[in-house]
Amino acid sequence: MEFRDDVYLGITGIIVALAAYFALYIAPAEVTMGELVRVFYFHLPPAIICYLSLIVSVVTGLIYIRTKDFKYDALSESGALLGLVYGLITLISGAIWANATWGVYWNWDPRETTTLILWFAYLGYFLLRMSIENPERRASSAAVFNILAFMTVPLSYVSFILWPSLHPRLGGDDGGLGLTGTMVQALVMNIIGGVFVFGYVLKKTYDLRMKRDEYNSKLMEEM
Amino acid sequence: MPNQVFQVLGLYLVTTIVYIAWIIKSNRDLDKKINS
């Protein structure tokens, strides 16, 4: 059966809308954080999309090194671009939440700081790509740089375990977010919505990148 | 409901919708250029 972009996007829209409604109006307030816990339902999905995008980016970068097939370089670049976009959403939404709970937008918490380092590492990835004209050298250098930049992803993920941090964690013990029942359902629905969004934007970004290559090849042939 | 909840939801949804609109338009424009 043929893949229908518009049907997939419609289903994604419905899931995201239902998940948002559930998070806003069905899930109850949390014991310590109150209504502000609802920020978490919309802060976590972009963070997951960011991490998933960068995992796709580094894995396909490694496959490119092995195969020298440019479609993997295109997928790797697409993943890195989405990592930047959703990384920025995560940083800004985190700052909004921090201001509401800690009273400041930014306080160099380990999770904030390592995520910012992650974001700049992948900004560097694109600066590197822009600085190299030869397509093969660009793809190879970017794939190698990607391996180094990706080290910031697990660092960001475990940062609040490695260093003292105010960043909320799941689990009611030791001061974590005590999500129960419908709160967990709201979180899972929003994560599923985020994964559907990720699937769509990754495919379309990859399509665009491949079409750009095709168009540039067409121009070169005409010259 | 605190304003911050809607600010974060808006940031997530608006950025995603703008990105999807941009990517759909860019794909269509390139399709036209390739087929012209």
Question: In chain A, which ranges are continuous DSSP H helix?
Answer: 5-21, 38-67, 70-102, 110-131, 135-150, 152-162, 182-222
Angle between helices A70-102 and A182-222 (to 10 degrees): 140
Instruction: Single out the residue of A100, A110, A91, A105 nearest to residue A165, CA to CA.
Output: A110
Give the ipTM.
0.94
**Closest approach of chain A CAs to the CA of B17, in angstroms?**
10
Task: Tell me the pLDDT band of A148, cut-offs 50, 70 and 90.
Answer: very high
Cα–Cα distance for residue pair A110/A74, rounded to 1 Å: 32
Chain A interface test: which of B1, B3, B4 (most A C-beta within 10 Å): B4
Q: What is the pLDDT of residues A55-105, one digit of tens each?
A: 999 999 999 999 999 999 999 999 999 999 999 999 999 999 999 988 999
DSSP line for A78-108: HHHHHHHHHHHHHHHHHHHHHHHHHSSS---
Asked if A153 and A118 touch (Cβ cutoff 8 Å), the reply is: yes
Closest-approach residue (CA) in chain A for B11: A89
Q: Is A34 helix (H, G, I), strand (E, B) or coil?
A: strand
Residue matched to tokens 């990592």: A83
Instruction: Single out the residue of A184, A73, A183 nearest to residue A135, CA to CA.
Output: A73
| pTM of the predicted model as reported, rounded to 2 decimal places | 0.91
Instruction: Single out the residue of A208, A217, A104 nearest to residue A166, CA to CA.
Output: A104
Residue matched to tokens 């419609």: A10
Is A215 close to B7, i.e. CB distance below 8 A?
A: no
For A173, the token pair is 């013990």
Q: What is the pLDDT of residues A102-120, one digit of tens each?
A: 899 999 999 999 999 999 9
